[in-house]
Structure 1
Amino acid sequence: MSSPAENAVAIAQDLIRCPSVTPADAGALDALDRPLAAAGFTCDRLTFGEDGTADVDNLVAHIGSGAPHLCFAGHTDVVPPGDESLWRHAPFSAAIADGRLFGRGASDMKGAVACFAAAAIDYVAERGGQLPGTISLLITGDEEGTAVNGTKKVLAWMEEAKLVPDHCLVGEPSNPAVLGEMIKIGRRGSLTGHLTVTGQQGHVAYPHLAANPVKGIVTALAKLYGTPLDSGSTHFSPSNLEVTSIDVGNPATNVIPARAEARFNIRFNDNHEAEALKAMLRGSIGAALADSELTFALDFAPHGDVFVTTPGALDELLSEAVTEFTGKTPVLSTGGGTSDARFIKDYCPVVEFGLTTETIHKTDENAALADLETLTAIYRRFIARYFETFGDGASEDNNGR
């Protein structure tokens, strides 16, 4: 019989061999469904779509009943591999070499999905299928894409099916370089803005007959850059604004353009709410352009909310398991980009722990076989300790809801 670690590597290879570039599933959910169903999990396949977006396949697998309910969340979709000729091993071959598993998704995050699946299967087998609660896997194919037809809609389905978890662990890669360094307990919010400044087109030799929007957009952006948003908070670093593009689209050197555009992104902490930030930005830009003839429009893309899971029993249990198998005491962090935890936090406390971020989205993405073995052991111990800790109805005093 295969060990949990061997099972994790085998499942990871099966997943990587599926070229599931968002929004394609390419058989990835089948590769996960098979071992889970064989272990006794009920597997529900959910396809969601809406106008203007591609249909996305998702999976909810669960076993047991009642509380406490531990959910593992993750995704089997991946980003494109880019120029495949630059890979040492074909990106969907799941090759093993030099003690590492190569392939798109090895770290982000098919490897962690496989580790949790193997850990859960082992726990279920040891207990003969009799669980002191519920284990579920929420797996989407829409995390690397628009995130419209994935986790958010799956959670709504789970609520209707009375399968809302009590706690959730997301297997996103969380460690900067070495397994065991970091657990994510929250994420900064993300707000993307599109600024358009409109002036009056004219000849550069007659600037008094024109109104240059480039001058205005530079002034406005300088004001935004020059005004710190905050100095950080208990669990977050200072909020940060970055301009990502400035576009004029003017091929002529002797024409003052009529319009200039810029895009920017703010990663904000829990000192702010998105709507208040939007109002502040409009006020700052309006003040910067007040003495000009220029007008502006400021539009925003759908934003991601900031959140933090208050440190407590959930991250303590995970930290204990991490320390046991790595010898490290993980830092509790809220840094990095965004994840589907931003949706899950509306339903239950959520933490994130997975592989390292060193090779994610890169050519030759890979994960060390030793890390896959260790991560499986960490997840396995965490599952056991979770049910020991929360299994007697404990919730409110143990970081529950």
Structure 2
Amino acid sequence: MEEVTKLAKELIAIPSVSGGEAEILKFCADWFRGAEFDDVFTDDMFTAGVVLAANSAASRALILCGHVDTVAPGDESAWSRSPWQAYVRDKRLYGLGSGDMKMGVALQMIIAKEYINARRDDFDVWCVAVANEEVDGAGSAAFTKFFAQRANYAEASCLIAEPTDGDRIEVGHRGNRFVELEFSGTAGHASQEENYQASALPKMAHFLMGLPDIRKTLHQTYRHNMLGEPSFTPTRVSPSQSFSANKTADKTYVALDIRTTPGLDEAFERQMNVFAEEYDFSWRYAAEPVNSALCADDAPILRAVQTCLPEGKVSVSLGATDQAFFQDIGVQTVVYGPGDFARAHTTDESVSLEKAKTALAVYRRVIALL
């Protein structure tokens, strides 16, 4: 465990807010090479090291995937120490990204390194550090495209070390669609009250008042027995780029965070167009859509993790993860890691060393079982 903690501290010490991961990806590549991985692949969005089977003809593979980007630290003066100064106190490792998810990345790297001396003829282990997970998952999107083109395994599984409190086994998540709506009207001088009614604001207000009906439609139509109901949440209202306080709005924008189920993934654009006609707006994607994801009940990776963590609670992720990118290429994926979800993205973020020790043992046993 000392080796894992040391590596996690080194990862925390490298600032890697989303969009600035070049240094930490290079660190991972150099580490893989120093650990004598068989192959190391680098890209602007990911770094992958792979331990190949002795005969180089493995039919199965396990991918250990973790993101190395973090959210911004916010007010650094609110932190007890620098966000990038890793330290241990009361059996917890502190630092930005410690639980979400640099401790998870560190233990995956060490587990993959251990496999070098215990490799099996039919089994490869990949260890992948990806960028931009906190934004749009572009790192895993790039890696899965690379993996699908290069690899030809009869069976491939993936473990992602996102924070699951050390006792949850997450098998899926709702998809996410970040959408921007545009409401249009006619601008006029605000000194004349009647100009308000011709502006974009009444249309926007009508839409916001209609949220209960919109949500009822989505909940009733697209509920999933495992992933639950979709969500539909406005997050921001914005004026047009050029506006004056004494001018009524010709355009107004509303940003939405929409979490989807498989049924809504399939029907999304059609359903949004129905709402657009009813509430008189146009819409566009503000980021690349991510589909919902769900690991198969009989997937070997799920059975293995459940065997190694019999007390673990099977659940779905509260937010979105990179799982969907792997499921989309046929790689059955489970999310399990030592971090505390409630401490992710918080000041003085930390992770329990005891939970990390348990997760390390689980990962070791999973590889032995697969």
TM-score by length of 1: 0.81
- Find out whether 1:62 has 2:51 as its counterpart: yes
Q: Does the 8 Å contact 1:40/1:63 carry over to 2? A: no
- Measure the CA separation in 2 of the matches of 1:43 and 1:105: 27
2:5 is aligned to 9
CA offset at residue 26 of structure 1? 5.7
1:23 is aligned to 19
Of 283, 300, 321 in structure 2, the residue corresponding to residue 298 of structure 1 is 283
2:178 is aligned to 192
CA displacement 1:210-264 (0-9 Å, x = unmatched) = 61321111112333442320242211121110111123365536x4322222111
1:349 maps to a residue whose letter is Q
Q: Does the 8 Å contact 1:73/1:169 carry over to 2? A: yes
1:116 maps to a residue whose letter is Q
2:254 is aligned to 262
2:272 is aligned to 281
Q: Does the 8 Å contact 2:46/2:143 carry over to 1? A: no
CA displacement 1:143-200 (0-9 Å, x = unmatched) = 234433x22222222233326661111111123xxx21x2221121111221111112
Q: 1:20 to 1:259 in 2, by over 3 A?
A: closer
2:256 maps to a residue whose letter is F
SS in 2 for 1:286: helix
Of 177, 186, 199 in structure 2, the residue corresponding to residue 212 of structure 1 is 199
Q: Does the 8 Å contact 1:123/1:384 carry over to 2? A: no
SS in 1 for 2:98: coil
2:358 is aligned to 374
Q: Over aligned residue pairs, what C-alpha RMSD do you find?
A: 2.4
Q: Does the 8 Å contact 1:39/1:121 carry over to 2? A: yes
1:105 is aligned to 97
1:399 is aligned to none
Bigger shift: residues 193-202 or 29-38:
29-38
- Measure the CA separation in 1 of the matches of 2:102 and 2:262: 31
Of 336, 344, 348 in structure 2, the residue corresponding to residue 353 of structure 1 is 336
2:106 is aligned to 114
CA displacement 1:81-126 (0-9 Å, x = unmatched) = 223222113222221122111111211111011112223333443x
% identical aligned pairs? 23
CA offset at residue 266 of structure 1? 1.0
- Find out whether 1:154 has 2:143 as its counterpart: yes
1:173 maps to a residue whose letter is P
Q: 1:30 to 1:6 in 2, by over 3 A?
A: farther
Q: Does the 8 Å contact 1:201/1:211 carry over to 2? A: yes
The unaligned stretches of length 5 or more in structure 2 are none
2:323 maps to a residue whose letter is A
Q: 1:158 to 1:281 in 2, by over 3 A?
A: closer
SS in 1 for 2:228: coil
- Find out whether 1:244 has 2:212 as its counterpart: no
For 1:158-177, list aligned pairs within 5 A. Answer: 158-162=147-151, 166-175=156-165
- Find out whether 1:343 has 2:325 as its counterpart: yes
2:302 maps to a residue whose letter is D
- Find out whether 1:42 has 2:38 as its counterpart: yes
CA displacement 1:24-55 (0-9 Å, x = unmatched) = 3364345444554454422423223xxxxxxx
The unaligned stretches of length 5 or more in structure 1 are 49-55, 290-295, 387-401
Residues paired across the two proteins, number:
355
Q: Does the 8 Å contact 2:185/2:198 carry over to 1? A: yes
- Measure the CA separation in 1 of the matches of 2:347 and 2:156: 37
- Measure the CA separation in 1 of the matches of 2:19 and 2:239: 33
- Measure the CA separation in 2 of the matches of 1:215 and 1:286: 15
- Find out whether 1:385 has 2:369 as its counterpart: yes
1:332 maps to a residue whose letter is S
